[in-house]
Every structure is written in C-alpha cells, then in structure tokens.
Amino acid sequence: MTASEANRALPRGPHQLSREQVARSQRQRLLEATTDVVAERGYVKTTVAHIIARAGVSRATFYELFADREACFHAAYRANAELVAEVLAAELERMRTSGERDPLARLDRLLHVYLRSLHDAPTLARVFLVEVYAAGPAAIDQRRESLEQFVDIVAETHRGETGLLGTEPDQRFAAQVIVGAVSSLVTNAVGAGDADLLLELHEPLMRLAREITRKS
C-alpha cells in the first residue's frame, strides 16, 4: 500500500495542516505499520506497542483512532482488500474500453494482474491471505466478503457477450470454483514464502478455468 504525500510523516514544527489532514495522515501510517508488522511478526505476536513504534505515533493517538489492535487490523485489511479490488476492477474496465470481447482472454489478463500484484507486494499478500485467519472470526468474515467480491469480478469477465459465468446459481458456482482454486493455491504459496510460485500458477489455473467454463 503506497501512501500519498498527504499521508507521509508529518513535518516537524509548525505546519498548515488541518486536524482532519493530521488525523488522516496518522491513520494511514498506522494502517501501513499494522500491515508491515503483522507480515513480519504474525498477527498473534503483534502488539499495539509494535504498531505505534513503526508508525511513529503516540499511544494516545492510536486509541483516538482505533479501539484496539483488532480494530486497527480490520481497517488495514479492509484498505488492502479494497486496493486489490480496485486494481482488478480498473483492469476489467480497461479491457472493456479496449474492446476485448473474448471472456477467457479477459480472465487470463485479470488472473495475471492479480498474481503479479501479490508477487510484487509480499507484505500485503501475507496479511491479505495468511495472517487474516489468525485474527479471529470478524477478520475471517472480511476475508469471505473479499472472496465473494473476487467471484463477482471473475463472473464479470464472462458476462455479456457469452454469458458463461452469469448470475444463475450454477454459473456463479463455476466462478466460485475458479476463485476457490485460486485462493487455495495462492494462500499455500504465500504461506510457504514462495513468491515465484505465484506466477507459475497462472497457466495451470487458466487450464482449470477453460475446463470449467467449457462445461458450464
């Protein structure tokens, strides 16, 4: 997750930032620190002290913004999940505007972007795919919601011209099978610390997708 200029460390001494800008900067730094520290130490071993030390904010500021470590992690996870979804949605829109009509070509490109994004952001990947399961039921619910959003995006690649993965229950199930396979394999790769394997998953996953969509 890359911070904008407004979200970087506040300047020393007097500044012209509003209270809202200061709070937004501090919140963003806490979210980034949480992502980094959880990826390094694991959720269970991460404390508020670790987070505020990495973010460079006070404990009082932390508790002004978040009720506890769990709330901060949930916010960090949500920000990461939204970032991934935005990247995929932007790529899907780009393909629409470019006139790409082949649904499998759309899916192939979308899968490439997803795997490359996780490969290039290992910290985000570890938190997004592995540590979330150590953060309790609410975080797991967040992960489930992210997967459903991913199903929607995968289904969208095949909606319209061909309708292979539309909104009918059996067709949506095909999208769920694809997403389930992707999720399981990438989680195993990230959990094992094998980032290169993420890119190697592309072709076998597309072979599976072709077989599933052919039968759907």
- Provide the CATH number for the domain around residue 55: 1.10.10.60
Alpha helix locations (H) across the chain? Answer: 19-41, 48-55, 59-65, 69-98, 103-120, 122-129, 137-157, 169-191, 195-200, 202-215
| Residue pLDDT, tens place only, 34-62 | 999 999 999 999 999 999 999 999 999 99
- CA 31 to CA 27: how far, in whole Å? 6
* Same domain membership, residue 161 and residue 93: yes
Q: Are residues 109 and 156 in the same domain?
A: yes
Shared-domain flag, residues 80 and 172: yes
* Of the listed ranges 58-72, 78-92, 146-160, 180-194, the one predicted with least confidence: 146-160
pLDDT digits (tens, 9 = 90+) for 121-177: 999 999 999 999 999 999 999 999 999 999 988 888 876 544 445 555 667 788 899
Task: Look at residue 15 and tell me whether its pLDDT is greater than 60.
Answer: no
Residue range of the domain that includes 150? 69-215
pLDDT-based confidence at residue 96 (cuts at 50, 70, 90): confident
Instruction: State whether 132 and 59 are in the same domain.
Output: no
Angle between helices 69-98 and 103-120 in degrees, nearest 10:
140
Of 65, 85, 116, the domain-final residue: 65
CA 175/CA 126 separation, integer angstroms: 24
**Domain tally, the chain:** 2
Q: For residues 64 and 10, give the distance between their C-alpha atoms in angstroms, rounded to a whole number.
A: 17
195 with 128, same domain? yes
Is residue 90 located within the same domain as residue 130?
A: yes
Residues 74 and 87 in one domain: yes
Which of 65, 90, 117 represents a domain boundary (last residue)?
65
Asked if 155 contacts 213 with a C-beta cutoff of 8 angstroms, the reply is no
Residues 61, 75 within the same domain? no
- Shared domain for 47 and 153, answered yes or no, is no
Residues 32 and 121 grouped into a single domain: no
Co-location of 36 and 141 in the same domain = no
pTM of the model: 0.82
Say if residue 67 is exposed, middle or buried (CB neighbours under 10 Å; 0-12, 13-18, 19+).
exposed
One domain, residues 56 and 83: no
Which of 155, 138, 154 is CA-nearest to residue 78?
138
- CATH code for the domain of 155: 1.10.357.10
Q: What is the mean pLDDT of the chain?
A: 86
Domain boundary (50, 65, 80) is at 65
pLDDT of res. 175: 87
Provide the token pair at 13: 């001494």
The helix/strand/coil state of 13 is coil
**Residue 3: per-residue pLDDT:** 36
